[in-house]
Structure 1
Amino acid sequence: MEVDAVVVGSGPNGLVAANLLADAGWETLVIEATPKPGGAVRTEELTAPGFRNDVYSAFYPLGAASPVLAGLGLEEHGLRWRHAPAVLAHVLPDDRYVLQSRDLERTARSVAEFDERDADNLRAEHASWRRLREPLLDAIVRPFPPVRSGARLFKTLGTAEALRLARMLTLTARGLGKEKFDGAGARLLLAGNAMHTDLGPDQAGSGVFGWLLTMLGQDVGFPVPEGGAGRLTDALVNRLTAKGGEIVCGTPVIEVMLSAGRAVGVRDADGRTVRARRAVLADVPAPVLYRDLVGAEHLPARLVSDLDRFVWDDATIKVDWALSSPIPWSAAEVGQAGTVHIGADLDGLAGIANDLACGRVPHDPFLLLGQMTTADPTRSPAGTESAWAYTHVPRGDSWPDSRLRRHADRMEEVIERHAPGFRDLIAGRAIAGPAQLQKGNHSLVEGSINAGTAAIQQQLFFRPVPGLGRADTPIDRLFLASASAHPGGAVHGAPGSNAARAALARDGWAGSVYRATVRAAHRAVYR
C-alpha cells in the first residue's frame, strides 16, 4: 500500500495533522495501535450502564480557545461544547473554597472573601488578558520562534510590557500569586491550576501555566464535549473521512522505514508495510519515536545522548465513579463547579510537589476532580453523577491491584472529608493506575499524561531535547506530531498542526530551500 502521508497514532494531534494534510489534497492514512481512535480523548461506560466516563482527559479550556481547532470547524461535524454552572472550585482543608465562574463579577466576589482588594486585582488582570489574548494564543500554538504571531504580540504589548511578560514566564506560581494578588483565594487559583501540569507552586515556570489556565477559565471556561470527550474525536474523524482520509485501528507500528536518510514508510507488528510518498508524522512520545521506531543507529549521537536526559512528567492514578446522586459537598456551591481541586492549601501543594520530587507517595493526595454530569447532563441518568478524580504519584513505583484499591480508598476519604456521605453514593467505580493507563493508550508511558515534563528546561526549543523547537527531525520527511513537541501537553492540536505545516513546507515549491535550511540547523545542533 502507498499513500502520500502516514500518521502514526490517532490522538488529537495525529488527527489534526491528518485533517490538515487531507485539506491540502494529500492521500493520508492514520494508523492506530489500539482498537479505537482518539488517544487520550475517549469515552466509555467504565463504571455502570448508562454512565459515560471519559477514559483519560475531560475538560478542554485550551481546546475551546485553540486557533488550531477553531480553524477546523468541528462544530460542523458534531462537536458541541457544554459548561457547568461554575468553572472551578478549590476547596481548602478547612472547607473554605474559592469559586471561579465565567461571570467575572461572581469570581471577583469569591476572591474578595479572602481579600477584598482582589476583586479589583482580578478585574485588572482579566482586562490585561483580553488585550493580549489573541496574539498570545496564536504565538503559543505556532512553531518556536513564532515570528509573525510573536511580532503581533510585541506590537500589542510594546517593549516594556513584552519584557515583563518574558519575566513572568520564569516565575513560580507562588511568586506570581504574590505579585498579582493579595489574598489566598486568588493565589490558589493560580497554584491549583499549575498542578494540572507536573509543576508544584515553587517550581520555575509554574506561574505561567497557572495563570494561563486561570485566565482561560475566566474567558472560555473549562468546557466539555456534549456526550463525552469521545465526541471531539468523532468530530475529527468525521471531518477527516469526509476529506478522503482513512484510519486503521488495532495495528501497532513497530518501525519507521528509512532509505538514504529519508522516512519512506512504516512497518506494522504483522510485517505489513505502508509506503509514504511524502511524509511520515508520528503522534507518539519522542523517546518512543527515536529509540523504538527509528533506532539510535540512524540518529545523531548527540540527539541520542540528549534523549538520556529527557524527563517524563509524574505518573497518574485515576478513579471513575458512578454516583447515585450529585456529590454532597459541605459547601453547597462547590457542587456547581465542573472541576474541583481538593486536598491542600498553597503550602500543602508545595509539600505534595516535594513528596513527588523525592519519590514519595503523598499521604494526603491532591485531587483534580470532575463532576461530569454537572457539566453535561447527557453523561448519566437523571439525578445521578458521573465523576472522576486523578492524582499524581512518583514514576517507577509498582502498583498491584491491592495497592491501587487502597489508594483509591484514600482518594475517596479525601472527598468524604469535604462531602460527608460521598462513599454511600458509589454505585460503581473503575481504577486505572500507571500500567493500566499505558496499556489503554501507549503514549501514556508509565501513566505520564503530558508526554514529558512541563518544566522550563524542557519547553520551547528545549522540547523534547535542545533543538529547533519545531516538528522537523534529523530524518528527512519524518515529523514529530505529539505532545512531546512544542508547545506540549493539553488538547489543542498545536503539535499536530505544526507537524502538518512542516511536512507541507518541506514538500512545497520552496522545498529544496526548506530542506537545506533544516539540514544545516540540525548539523549545527547535533554535530
Structure 2
Amino acid sequence: MTDAVVVGAGVNGLVAANMLADAGWDVVVCEAAGVPGGACRSAQVTAPGFVSDLFSAFHPFAAASPALRRLDLPAQGLEWCRAPQVLAHPTPDGRCALLSMDPARTARSLDDFAAGDGAAWRTLVDRWAPLRAPLLDALFGAPFPPLRAGLRLARQLGAADGLRFARFATLGARRFAEEEFTGEGAALLFAGNAMHADLGPESVGSALLGWLLTMLGQDVGFPSPRGGAGRIPEALVARLRERGGRLRLGAAVHAVEVRGGRARGVRLADGGVLAARRAVIADVDAVSLYRNLVGAGHLPARLLDDLTRFQWDHATIKINWALSGPIPWADPRCAEAGTVHLGGTLDDLSRTAAQLARGLVPADPFCVLGQMTTTDPTRSPPGTESAWAYLHVPQLPRGDAGGAGIAGPWDDEAVARVVARAERTVAAAAPGFAARVLARHVQSPADLQGSDAVLRGGAVHGGTAALHQQLVFRPVPGLGRPETPVAGLYLGSMSAHPGGGVHGGPGALAARAALRATGPFGPARRATVAALNRRLYAPSRPTAPTAPTGSNGPTATGPATATRREPPAAPSGGTARPSHGRGR
C-alpha cells in the first residue's frame, strides 16, 4: 500500500507527485504510455537530427508558473532557450505586429499601424508590472476562490480599478483593442494569442487571455527547453525519484477502486491493484475519469447529467517539418521570431473564428508556426530549421468554407487537404518555402488522441476555454476545486481549474487539497466539501430543464434526449496530459 496513486504522468500528474513526495508521502505514478510527459514530449519524427516537439513547444506559462518555480527544475538541468524576438504577425500590406521582450521594439511595430499606439502599449506594460505576481498566484497558484491571492490583487488594484479590471476580463480582444488603441496591431497580438485556445476576437474573455499571453511574452518570452519539450517531464521525473517517488510506465489504470464512498486505490488493466491510504489524483480528462474510471454507481446523477454539457475545444492538425534552411520570409522580422502567426487581418481572424463556430473547416486557416532551431540551435543540424505549424479545425466538420468538400470524420484525405491549405498559407508569407521542405510529419486529430488519450478528438486544452466552462464551471458547475464527490479522489488535469497549459496548476492544486485533507483541519475541510457537494449535486427540481439542446459533449447516460455529436471515445486507461503545439 502507498499513500497516494497519481493516474497519468503528464506535467500536472508529475507536479502533484513531486509536491506529495516533498511532504513525505509515498507516491506511485501510473502512466499508460511507455514514456512520461503526456502532451509534453519531443522526438525525431521528420528526419535524423531534427527534434520536433510533438505537442507543447513554447512555454510562457511554465516559465512564470508558481507551481513549477517552487520545484526548481533548473536544478535538474532544465534550461530555457528564447528566440531573438517572441512573436511576429505579418499582414498582407507589409506591416508586422512584433512582440519583443524589449517593450520599445514592440511599441515601434505598433506605431507602424497607428501613431501613438506605441505609447499606449508602454502604458499597458507599466500597468502589468504590479499585477503580475498576485494575478499569476490567483490564476495558477491558489484553489478557487483564491482568497489570499485575490485579496493581494484587490489591494493592488483598489476598489475602482478592481471593478474596471473585472469589466476588462469580460471583454473580447477586438473590443479591448478598440478601447485602448487606434490601429489594429495590438489587436492582432491579443486576438492571435487568444486563438491559441478556442477563443475568437469577439469571444468573452479573449481579451484577458490574449493580454495575459502577450504580457508574459513581454516579460518571460515564449521560451522552449533546450533539447526539446520532453526535458520538462524528464526534470520532474528525476526530481520525483530523488525524493523516493515511483513511476510505473505501461501501467494503464482500468478503474478507481471506490469503497464506502471513498477512493481506496486503482485497478490496473493487467488486473493488479494499487491501494492508496490517503489519495488518488487523476491527471486524466474529466469525462474519462467520471464515466470510465469511477462509473455512474459512485457519482451523483446530476453530475453525470452536467457531463452531457461538457464541451471539448476545437480539434487540431499539426505539421512538423525538417527544412534545409531557415524559412525564407518576405518580411525579415518574421525570421527573428520563435512564433509566427499567419492569419491576415483582424477581420480575417474573426472570419476564421466564425467558420469554426459554425462547424466549418476554415477557408484560410489561422496558423501558429514555430521556428524551433531559431529558438534552440540544438534542434537540427547547422544551417537547417526544425519547424512546425498547427491550426484548429472542427471536431466533426459540417462543411468546408474552403470549398474542398471536407465533411464528416477526419480521414487521411481530409487531413491532407488541410495540410496543403496550411502550406499554401506559409508559402504566401515565405515564397520558396516548399523548396526547403526535406521531410514532413503530420499529426491528425486521431494521431493526437492516439498519442495521448486526454487529447480527445484532437482537443488540446481539456475542454473549451470559453467562460461557460471556466472557474466554478470547470469541468461542470461546482466548487471549481480539485475535490470530487468521491472522498479522497482529486481531479488534477487540465479539465480542472485553472485549465490547459503547461503550468502544473491543476496538479499543484490537487496535491495541495490532498495534503490539507489529511492535516489538522482535515476532518472539517472534508466535511465542508462533502456538504457543499451534496447541495450542488442534489437532484434538480421538476421544473428545471432536463435536456440540453446544443453541445459537442459526449452522449449522456440517463434520460437526456438531445442528439449529440461527439469526438471519438478515449481509452479508459490513464494517460496524462498538458497542452499542445505552442504549449501555453
TM range (shorter): over 0.9
Q: Give the Cα separation in 2 of the matches to 1:340 and 1:67.
A: 27
Contact kept in structure 1, 2:60 and 2:216, CA below 8 Å: yes
Q: Which residue, 423, 426, 431 being the options, matches 1:420? A: 431
Distance across 2 between alignment mates of 1:485 and 1:27:
24
Indicate the residue corresponding to 1:19 in structure 2. 18
Who is 2:261 aligned against?
Answer: 261
- The separation in 2 between residues aligned to 1:418 and 1:57, in whole angstroms, is 24
* Shift in Å, 1:350: 0.9
User: Is the 1:327–1:335 Cα contact (8 Å) retained in structure 2?
Assistant: yes
User: C-alpha separation between the residues in 1 aligned to 2:200 and 2:279?
Assistant: 39
**Residue of structure 1 equivalent to 2:444:** 433
Matching residue's letter, 1:217:
G
Give the equivalent residue in structure 2 for 1:81: 80
Q: Which residue of 1 aligns with 2:180?
A: 180
Deviations 1:191-243 (A, max 9, x none): 11110110100111111000100111111110000110001111111111111
The structure with the largest helix share of the pair is: 1
**What code does the residue aligned with 2:124 have?**
E
CA offsets, 1:266-311, max 9 Å, x none? 1111111111111000000101100110012211111111101011
**3-state secondary structure, aligned to 1:115:** coil
Question: CA offsets per residue over residues 122-176 of structure 1, 9 Å max, x none?
Answer: 1100000001110011000111110000011111110011111111111001111
Q: Does 1:246 align with 2:257?
A: no
1:104 alignment counterpart? 103
Contact residue 485 and residue 530 of structure 2 kept, 8 A? yes
**Residues 456-487 of structure 1, C-alpha deviations (whole Å, 9 max, x = no match):** 11111111111001000000000000001001
Matched position secondary structure for 2:481: coil
Per-residue deviation, 1:402: 2.5
Residue equivalent to 2:71: 72
User: 1:180 & 1:129 partners in 2: Cα distance?
Assistant: 14
Amino acid at match of 1:139: A
CA shift for structure 1 position 67: 1.0
Deviation per CA, 1:227-270, whole angstroms, max 9, x where unpaired? Answer: 10001111111111111111111121110010000000111111
AA aligned opposite 1:470: R
Alignment of 1:326-337 (within 5 A): 326-337=326-337
For 2:328, the aligned partner's letter is: P
**Aligned pairs, how many?**
526
Contact 1:95 1:418 in 2 (8 A): no
Mapped partners of 1:55, 1:94: distance in 2: 33
Q: Which residues of 2 match residues 112-131 of structure 1 at below 5 A? A: 112-131=111-130
Contact 1:172–1:207 at 8 Å: present in 2 too? yes
The 3-state SS of whatever aligns with 2:387 is strand
The runs of 5 or more residues in structure 1 that have no matched partner are: none
1:74-100 superposed Cα distances (whole Å, 9 cap, x missing partner): 000010011000000012234431111
Q: How does 1:253-332 map to 2 (within 5 A)?
A: 253-332=253-332
- The aligned residue for residue 558 of structure 2 is none
Match of 1:347 in 2: 347
Equivalence for 1:10 = 9
Aligned-partner SS, 2:499: coil
CA distance in 2 between counterparts of 1:344 and 1:292 reads: 42
Identity fraction in percent? 56
Q: Which amino acid aligns with 1:448?
A: A
Contact 1:93 1:343 in 2 (8 A): no
Alpha-carbon deviation of 1:344? 2.4
In structure 1, the partner of 2:504 is: 493
**1:199 alignment counterpart:** 199
Please report how far the alpha carbon of residue 102 of structure 1 lies from its aligned counterpart in structure 2 after TM superposition.
Answer: 0.2
Secondary structure at 1:316 match in 2:
strand
Q: Is the 8 A contact 2:5 2:265 kept in 1?
A: yes
> How far is 1:60 from its partner?
0.4
Aligned partners of 2:343 and 2:512: how far apart in 1? 42
* Cα distance in 1, alignment partners of residues 197 and 411 from structure 2: 25
Question: 1-side partners of 2:381 and 2:433: how far apart?
Answer: 18
Contact 2:317-2:444 at 8 Å conserved across structures:
yes
- Deviation of 1:333 after TM superposition, in Å, equals 1.4
* Corresponding letter in the other structure for 1:468: L
The residue type equivalent to 1:522 in the other structure is N
Moved over 3 A (4+): none
Secondary structure at the aligned position of 1:378 is classed as helix
1:468 has 2:479 as partner: yes
Residue 71 of structure 1 aligns to a residue whose secondary structure is: helix
Indicate conservation of the 8 Å contact 1:98/1:186, yes or no: yes
Q: 1:484 & 1:22 partners in 2: Cα distance?
A: 24
SS in 2 for 1:411: helix
- The one-letter code of the counterpart of 1:376 is D
One-letter amino acid matched to 2:121:
L
Once the two structures are TM-superposed, the CA of residue 11 in structure 1 deviates from its matched residue by 0.7
Quote the Cα distance in structure 1 between the aligned partners of 2:94 and 2:387.
20
After superposition, give the CA deviation of every residue in 1:332-356 in whole Å (9 maximum; x if it has no partner): 1111000000022111111111111
Q: Secondary structure at the match of 1:119?
A: helix
State TM-score, norm by structure 2.
Answer: 0.89
Q: Tell me the CA shift for residue 379 of structure 1.
A: 0.5
Partners of 1:95 and 1:303 lie apart in 2 by: 52
Unaligned runs of 5+ in 2: 397-407, 539-584
